[in-house]
Amino acid sequence: MKFRLSPEDLWVGRWTRALRHTRAPGLRHGIGHDCAVLASPPPGSDLVFKTDAVVEGVHFLRSTSAPLVGRKALARALSDLAAAGAKPLAALVTAGCPDKKTAVRLQSVYRGFARAARHWRVAIVGGETVRTRQLLLSVSLLGTVPRRQSPHRGGARPGHLLFVTGTLGGSWPHRHLTFTPRLREGQWLARKKIPSAMMDLSDGLGADLPRLARMSGIGFQLHPQKLPLAPGATIRQAVTRGEDYELLFTVPPGQAARLRKTWPFSTRLTEIGVCLTGRSGFQTGGLHLQGYDHLR
């Protein structure tokens, strides 16, 4: 019998051709095998593990530039790694593909993946394909962080100050596709052991800040007039729009002066409130807290 590639294997070959130049240090085997196998990171590291998906009609449109769809899918997952203070190591991509037209489009999506992977030095080492009713891209990321130094959402205490990087409310129409995940800022903050809690803002401050508060068992006072607004954005948009991909973190008051003095980035840094006891609730100066909800 003469061997012919199946349609699935043909398409996967076409999509992943763009990924040939992204390589992970210590990669034993990657694309084309059942699993990706990598050398363990050096001792003294913890592993950081994350998965994030983008779906047509929710996170991008049929008319969105295909390479920017790949870029966004990878950058969103990298933003979560930034919040954990982690350095990316390797990624897997799951492509949900409804039809042949989308399969053609996926070639450009993967070129966006490849470019973004080179830029942020993360290798795409495998993945898989499924038939879905709408284009979907799910990225799994593996990263490393110095042992026991990864910030999380649960360490904020009453009296700690609330900070955000960058500006809020400016995700539409373009920035949600072209934002820079705050990897360098997150890694620096974790290394300096400054944040008592940290997360990235993906669903908007109005949805995400209450999540951090709940995991830490605290209340907070938010100063709406202090929010760093993106050009043209209103306070309401800064709270509800989502997709800012900035870092939200809390800092013990004794660390705030050191943070402001040694912050080495051009990225804006703004104090937006203070943590209170859990019983104090959420004090927002009358601002209604709401963000993006995937199941509303």
Residues 134-163 that bind a copy of itself (CB under 8 A): 134, 136, 138, 140, 142-145, 147-148, 150, 152-154
Q: Between β-strands 161-165 and 136-146, what pairing exists: parallel, antiparallel or unpaired?
A: unpaired
Residues between 165 and 184 with contacts to a copy of itself, criterion CB under 8 A = none
Query: For 41, which DSSP code?
Result: P
Cis? peptide before 173, omega within 30° of 0: yes
3 state SS for 98-149: CCHHHHHHHHHHHHHHHHHHHHCCCEEEEEEEEECCCCEEEEEEEEEEECCC
Q: How many positions of this chain bind a copy of itself (CB under 8 A)?
A: 90
Site string for a copy of itself, 76-95 (x = CB under 8 A): ----xx-xx-x---x-x-x-
Q: Report the nearest approach of a copy of itself to the CB of residue 246 (Å).
A: 13
Q: Does 34 participate in binding a copy of itself (rule CB under 8 A)? A: yes
Check: CB of residue 171 under 8 Å from CB of residue 137: no
Residues between 226 and 285 with contacts to a copy of itself, criterion CB under 8 A = 281-284
Q: Report the nearest approach of a copy of itself to the CB of residue 232 (Å).
A: 26
Smaller CB distance to a copy of itself: residue 8 or 21? 8
Structure tokens given for 119: 């830029």
By residue count, the chain amounts to: 296
* Phi, psi of 79, deg, nearest 5: -65, -35
Q: Does 53 participate in binding a copy of itself (rule CB under 8 A)? A: yes
Check: CB of residue 174 under 8 Å from CB of residue 69: no
Q: What is the CA radius of gyration of the chain?
A: 20
Q: Report the nearest approach of a copy of itself to the CB of residue 54 (Å).
A: 8
**Dihedral angle of Cα 84, 88, 92, 93, to the nearest 10 degrees:** 80
Smaller CB distance to a copy of itself: residue 28 or 258? 28
Check: CB of residue 277 under 8 Å from CB of residue 188: no
Smaller CB distance to a copy of itself: residue 130 or 257? 130
Site string for a copy of itself, 2-21 (x = CB under 8 A): xx--xxxx-x----------
Considering only residues 17, 20, 25, 58, which one is a binding residue for a copy of itself as defined by CB under 8 A?
A: 58
Q: Between β-strands 161-165 and 247-251, what pairing exists: parallel, antiparallel or unpaired?
A: antiparallel
Nearest to 184 by CA among 248, 127, 267: 267
Smaller CB distance to a copy of itself: residue 12 or 116? 12
Q: Report the nearest approach of a copy of itself to the CB of residue 156 (Å).
A: 13
**Dihedral angle of Cα 172, 176, 180, 183, to the nearest 10 degrees:** 120
Considering only residues 17, 20, 21, 49, which one is a binding residue for a copy of itself as defined by CB under 8 A?
A: 49
Segment contacting a copy of itself (CB under 8 A): 110-118, 133-141, 174-182, 234-242?
133-141
Considering only residues 17, 20, 35, 253, which one is a binding residue for a copy of itself as defined by CB under 8 A?
A: 35
Query: For 199, which DSSP code?
Result: E
Residues between 190 and 219 with contacts to a copy of itself, criterion CB under 8 A = 198-200, 207, 210-211, 213-215
Considering only residues 74, 97, 116, 183, which one is a binding residue for a copy of itself as defined by CB under 8 A?
A: 97
